[in-house]
């Protein structure tokens, strides 16, 4: 008879991480595990071979930059079941395993005729990563669709479910990025998908795409988003990147007013509370860094917000380029750029 405690999953040693990240930079994990079920995950966490070692949870590797090897265990959860768990007149409630591929999840919901995720089409990564970092694009953040996030606390081995209000969602951030909840391992995410289709057009470029026509189906919005993304963002299969390398910085409106005096073309988005967001891509472009290369590390020529790996760049080289970009923006505009990916 087997019981959970004796479940042993295959844990590989000295694993090259380049294929598991969208930057594709070289780094080696001392141990690497891909649990397919919660039981397999708990078995890895209980395994005495790895107790006390540094631990890293890797999703789709689309928001991480390794600048060195990882001398510990990398766990890549693969639980990927998608389940309609409830519905009412207005919403469908869908629970998805943390390891499910995000792009495939969006496509699958649309194939089933379920609206709600179309604006977030073609974002690389996993469902778990999406909930941790509150992915957002074209006028929608995943936080707006999240009901709850089911996690495992690896210290106590207890399951905890956080309702959306406990997740502290903000622009590309959540409670899962800060102590103590950054220790939690996301197991599944429950989303509520509105049954009535209402196109979200707050993003100017998306509105422009349709002109005076109004899409009647979510799949039309998805197609538009996919077309816009393909135009501006590199396909990770062809050119390594982590999407936007920097967050759009949030500054006071007074600062914006000063900046506009010198730079009337500055791109800004008004926020509440006397704050405004600046387009980091525009700032980087304005300091002349767009398309610049340092060896194989580069600033993407079609979108200055994206750093790319032209082939053999190391994580450290990409990080050095990021520092150079941030320093140039700081010097010219007095604005700090904060990296979006996790840098190891
Ligand atoms: N711009 C330039 N030069 C550039 C890049 C941008 O002048 O090289 C200008 C654009 O013309 C535009 C403005 O800057 O007026 C903003 O650029 P863009 O529309 O490309 O959007 P973004 O603010 O750069 C954000 C997200 C993207 C998301 C898009 C669409 C962040 C950091 N990035 O980009 O998210 O897809 O909006 O919603 O918030 C990601 O997080 O990885 C990501 C790709």
Q: What is the pLDDT of residues 141-163, one digit of tens each?
A: 999 999 999 999 999 999 999 99
Return the best residue to mutate from 282, 289, 339 for the ligand 1 pocket (most ligand atoms within 8 A of CB).
Answer: 282
Of 325, 267, 330, residue with least CA distance to 293:
325
Q: What is the pLDDT of residue 289?
A: 97
Asked if residue 92 and residue 225 are part of one domain, the reply reads yes
Alpha-carbon gap, residue 185 to 82, rounded angstroms: 18
Query: 96-110, 194-208, 326-340 — which is least confidently predicted?
Result: 194-208
Please determine, for residue 331, whether its predicted confidence score (pLDDT) is greater than 80.
Answer: yes
pLDDT value at position 262?
87
Residues 159 and 191 both lie in one domain: yes
Please say if the pLDDT value at position 337 is more than 60. yes
Report the pLDDT value the prediction gives residue 9, as an integer from 0 to 100: 82
- Final residue in a domain of this structure, among 231, 265, 281: 231
236 falls in which pLDDT band (50, 70, 90)?
Answer: confident
Region 269-283: mean pLDDT is 90
Contact yes or no for 129/60 (Cβ under 8 A): yes
pLDDT tens digit sequence for 55-109: 999 999 999 999 999 999 999 999 999 999 999 999 999 999 999 999 999 999 9
Residue nearest to atom 10 of ligand 1 (CA): 282
Does the pLDDT of residue 334 top 50, yes or no? yes
Has residue 1 got a pLDDT over 50? Answer: no
CA of 281 to the centre of ligand 1 (A): 6
Contact partners, residue 296, CB within 8 Å, separation at least 6: 309, 310, 311, 312, 313, 317
- Whether residue 113 is found in the same domain as residue 214: yes
**Which of 184, 205, 231 is the C-terminal boundary of a domain?**
231
Q: Catalytic positions, please?
A: 172, 244, 340
Residues 251 and 190 grouped into a single domain: no
Number of domains in the chain: 3
pLDDT at 295: 95
Q: Is pLDDT above 70 for 174?
A: yes
Q: What percent of the chain stands above pLDDT 70?
A: 98
Residue 248 alpha carbon, nearest atom of ligand 1: 32
3-state secondary structure of 24: coil
Q: What is the percentage of the chain residues whose pLDDT exceeds 90?
A: 88
Alpha-carbon 218 to chain mean position: 22
Cα–Cα distance list, 15 to 11, 21, 281 (Å): 10, 13, 34
Q: Is the dihedral of CA 216, 139, 194, 102 positive or negative?
A: positive
Task: Write the CA distances from 5 to 48, 49, 111, 151, integer angstroms.
Answer: 11, 14, 39, 20
- CA of 247 relative to ligand 1 center, distance in Å: 9
With cut-offs at 50, 70 and 90, classify the pLDDT of residue 2: very low
* pLDDT value of position 28: 98
Are 111 and 241 contained in the same domain? no
CATH number of residue 6's parent domain: 3.30.43.10
Give strand pairing partners of 309.
Answer: 240, 297
Measured from the Cα of 204, ligand 1's closest atom is 19
In which domain, by residue range, is 94 found?
Answer: 82-231
| Distance set, CA 176 to CA 164, 221, 338 (Å) | 12, 30, 18
Q: Do 55 and 130 share a domain, yes or no?
A: no
**127 and 227 both lie in a single domain:** yes
pLDDT at 274: 85
- 225 lies in the same domain as 100: yes
Ligand 1 shell residues, CB under 6 Å: 137-138, 203, 232-233, 243-244, 247-248, 267, 279, 281-282, 285, 290, 303-305, 340
Q: What mean pLDDT is predicted for residues 19-30? A: 97
For position 6, what pLDDT does the model report? 59
Residue among 13, 141, 129, 107 nearest 63 (CA): 129
Query: Are residues 65 and 201 located together in one domain of the fold?
Result: no
Is 270 found in the same domain as 336?
Answer: yes
């Amino acid at each position: 008879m087997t019981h959970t405690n004796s479940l042993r999953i295959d844990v590989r040693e000295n694993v090259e991480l380049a294929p598991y990240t969208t930057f594709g930079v070289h780094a080696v994990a001392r141990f690497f595990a891909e649990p397919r079920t919660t039981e397999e995950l708990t078995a890895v966490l209980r395994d005495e071979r790895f107790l006390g070692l540094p631990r890293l949870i890797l999703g789709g590797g689309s928001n991480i930059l390794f600048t060195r090897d990882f001398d510990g265990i990398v766990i890549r959860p693969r639980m990927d079941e998608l389940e309609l768990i409830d519905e009412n007149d207005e919403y469908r409630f869908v629970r998805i395993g943390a390891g499910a591929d995000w792009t495939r999840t969006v496509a699958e919901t649309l194939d089933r005729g379920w609206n709600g995720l179309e604006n977030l089409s073609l974002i690389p990564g996993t469902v778990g990563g999406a909930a941790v970092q509150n992915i957002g694009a074209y006028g929608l953040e995943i936080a707006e669709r999240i009901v709850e996030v089911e996690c495992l606390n690896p210290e106590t081995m207890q399951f905890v479910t956080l309702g959306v209000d406990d997740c502290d969602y903000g622009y590309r951030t959540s409670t899962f990025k800060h102590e103590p909840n950054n220790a939690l391992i996301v197991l599944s995410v429950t989303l509520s998908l509105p049954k009535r289709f209402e196109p979200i057009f707050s993003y100017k470029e998306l509105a422009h795409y349709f002109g005076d026509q109004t899409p009647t189906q979510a799949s039309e919005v998805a197609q538009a988003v996919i077309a816009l993304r393909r135009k501006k963002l590199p396909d990770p299969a062809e050119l390594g990147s982590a999407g936007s390398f920097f967050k759009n910085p949030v500054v006071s409106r007074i600062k914006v007013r000063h900046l506009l005096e010198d730079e009337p073309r500055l791109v800004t988005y008004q926020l509440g509370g006397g704050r405004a967001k600046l387009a980091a891509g525009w700032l980087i472009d304005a300091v002349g860094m767009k398309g610049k290369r340092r060896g194989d590390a580069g600033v993407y020529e079609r979108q200055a917000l994206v750093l790319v790996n032209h082939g053999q760049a190391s994580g450290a080289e990409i990080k050095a380029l990021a520092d150079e970009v941030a320093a140039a923006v700081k010097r010219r505009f007095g604005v700090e750029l904060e990296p979006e990916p996790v840098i190891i």
